[in-house]
Structure formats: structure tokens, C-alpha cells
């Protein structure tokens, strides 16, 4: 996976991107069990990328509060990763947008009335490793940190990552006429999540950084979508 941590970014680089457009909508459950409307937007804008980058503020406060409440812990990172996913803590969304803004990359945002709840960036077309079909590849996906499961706080919205993946799959089925299925390389903390969705690890495609390669088969993708057909 390409590292862009040390790249310099022109101040106005996001101004050239077109405004996002809504491609789908639905409802998602909140912490009280209510169904809250959301939309899926496709496309990059300065406001969307910078809003995702502000997620870092929530994570920083979460970490500082944990340190204050647990002064005797020596290895904070190890203990914190038992409580919330932090493997994407170093991700810088503006830098990713600067590098991944050509036509083969698509940016999707799940938004409710109170902001962006999840983001998914894809690459396409991607050759399936299962059979000779075109699918899409999830390069990066993240839920806002307040939506991640943790014993230390209540999740604001549940199932954000699952919901955005479903809508992205539908988009590629309808817009690009790709087959059912998609692939990705998983962070270690997310492997159980992807296996629960029905994705299968193909070890021969694992990368050299400890990221396992997963693909969703035709059949499992249709089950994942609840029998949805274009």
C-alpha cells in the first residue's frame, strides 16, 4: 500500500474537484434504536475531506481520557486497541485525496443530518481472483470513530461500514455493470468483521505488511445484499 505520509499538499488542491452527488439513501439505527435517514454521496469536496480529517480530534480526546482514567497502564496502545479500532489512527484524508483523485478511484460518503458517518474509497476495475470478472476494490474504508464498537462509549450509529459497502456494491452493479463481489486488504483489527460479512481470505494475495487479502464471491455478495438483483 502506497505511503503518502510525508507528501506536501498544495493548499488549493481540492478546489478542482467537482461537488459530490447523491447516489443512494436509506436509514440507519442510532444508539436509541431509532432509524435515522442517511444519503450516500459520490465525489470529492474540500468540506467532506476536511470533515473526515477532524475525526482525529475525537480519537485524540478518547485517548487522552483513557490515559487520565488509567494512569497505571504501561502499554497504552495495546490496551486501547482492545477497546476501539485505532489501526487507522495515522490516516490523513486530505493526503489520500491528493493522491487518489483520478478516474479509477471513487470516493463515497455516508452522511446523516449531523455529518459524515463513514467514508469508502474504491479502485476499479479490479480483476477477481476467483474467476474472470471485473469487480471493485476497497482501498480505504472507515466509520467515524464515534460509530465504532467500544466498551468505553456508546456508538452513535450502528452498521455504518456494512451499509456503505452495500450501497457501493449496488452502485458498481448498476453504473458499471460489474459482477457481484469486491475485494480488499484488511487491517488486522477488521479481519473478523470482513469474515462475518462473508469475505474469504486468499493467502497467496496477502501483502508484505501483514494485511490479509479478502474477496467476496458472487454468491456471498448476493447473500450480503439480501438477494438484491439489478
Beta bridge partners of 36: 28
Does 35 fall in a domain? yes
What digits encode the pLDDT tens for the residues 54-89? 998 988 888 888 888 888 888 877 777 777 788 888
- Contact partners, residue 71, CB within 8 Å, separation at least 6: none
Does 144 fall in a domain? yes
Confidence class of residue 53 from pLDDT cuts 50, 70 and 90? very high
Does 4 fall in a domain? no
> What pTM was computed for the model?
0.89
Does 173 fall in a domain? yes
Count how many domains the chain has.
Answer: 1
**Highest averaged pLDDT of the listed ranges 6-20, 63-77, 153-167:** 153-167
- Give pLDDT, residue 6: 44
Percentage of the chain exceeding pLDDT 70: 92
Task: Output 18-27 pairs: Cβ under 8 A, ≥24 positions apart.
Answer: 18/43, 18/44, 19/43, 19/45, 20/44, 20/45, 20/48, 20/107, 20/109, 23/108, 23/167, 23/171, 24/167, 24/170, 24/171, 26/163, 26/167
Pairwise CA distance, residues 40 & 25, whole Å: 6
Confidence class of residue 107 from pLDDT cuts 50, 70 and 90? very high
Does 167 fall in a domain? yes
Helix (H, G, I), strand (E, B) or coil at 42: strand
CA neighbor of 117 nearest in space, from 151, 162, 150: 162
Does 190 fall in a domain? yes
Confidence class of residue 204 from pLDDT cuts 50, 70 and 90? very high
- Statement: residue 14 has pLDDT above 60: no
Name which of 93-102, 123-132, 153-162 the model is least confident about.
Answer: 93-102
Does 159 fall in a domain? yes
> Which residue range(s) make up the domain with 220?
16-224
Confidence class of residue 34 from pLDDT cuts 50, 70 and 90? very high
Pairwise CA distance, residues 109 & 115, whole Å: 10
Does 230 fall in a domain? no
Torsion of CA 148, 136, 49, 20, to 10 degrees: -120
CATH number of the CATH domain containing 172: 3.40.630.30
Q: Please compute the mean of the pLDDT values over residues 186-204 and round it to a whole number.
A: 95
Amino acid at each position: 500500500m502506497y505511503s503518502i505520509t510525508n507528501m506536501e499538499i498544495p493548499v488549493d488542491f481540492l478546489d478542482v474537484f467537482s461537488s459530490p452527488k447523491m447516489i443512494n439513501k436509506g436509514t440507519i439505527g442510532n444508539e436509541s434504536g431509532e432509524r435515522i435517514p442517511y444519503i450516500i454521496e459520490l465525489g470529492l469536496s474540500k468540506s467532506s475531506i476536511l470533515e473526515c480529517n477532524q475525526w482525529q480530534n475525537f480519537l485524540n480526546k478518547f485517548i487522552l481520557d483513557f490515559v487520565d482514567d488509567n494512569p497505571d497502564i504501561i502499554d497504552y496502545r495495546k490496551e486501547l486497541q482492545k477497546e476501539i479500532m485505532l489501526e487507522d489512527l495515522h490516516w490523513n484524508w486530505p493526503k489520500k485525496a491528493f493522491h487518489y483523485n483520478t478516474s479509477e478511484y471513487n470516493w463515497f460518503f455516508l452522511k446523516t443530518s449531523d455529518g459524515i458517518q463513514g467514508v469508502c474509497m474504491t479502485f476499479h476495475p479490479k480483476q477477481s481472483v476467483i474467476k474472470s470478472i471485473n469487480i471493485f476494490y476497497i482501498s480505504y474504508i472507515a466509520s467515524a470513530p464515534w460509530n465504532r464498537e467500544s466498551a468505553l462509549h456508546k456508538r452513535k450509529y450502528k452498521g455504518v461500514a456494512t451499509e456503505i459497502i452495500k450501497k457501493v456494491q449496488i452502485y458498481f452493479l448498476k453504473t458499471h455493470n460489474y459482477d457481484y463481489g469486491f475485494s480488499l486488504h484488511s487491517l488486522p483489527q477488521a479481519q473478523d468483521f470482513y469474515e462475518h460479512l462473508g469475505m474469504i481470505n486468499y493467502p497467496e494475495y496477502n501483502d508484505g505488511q501483514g494485511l490479509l487479502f479478502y474477496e467476496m464471491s458472487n454468491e456471498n455478495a448476493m447473500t450480503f445484499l439480501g438477494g438484491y438483483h439489478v
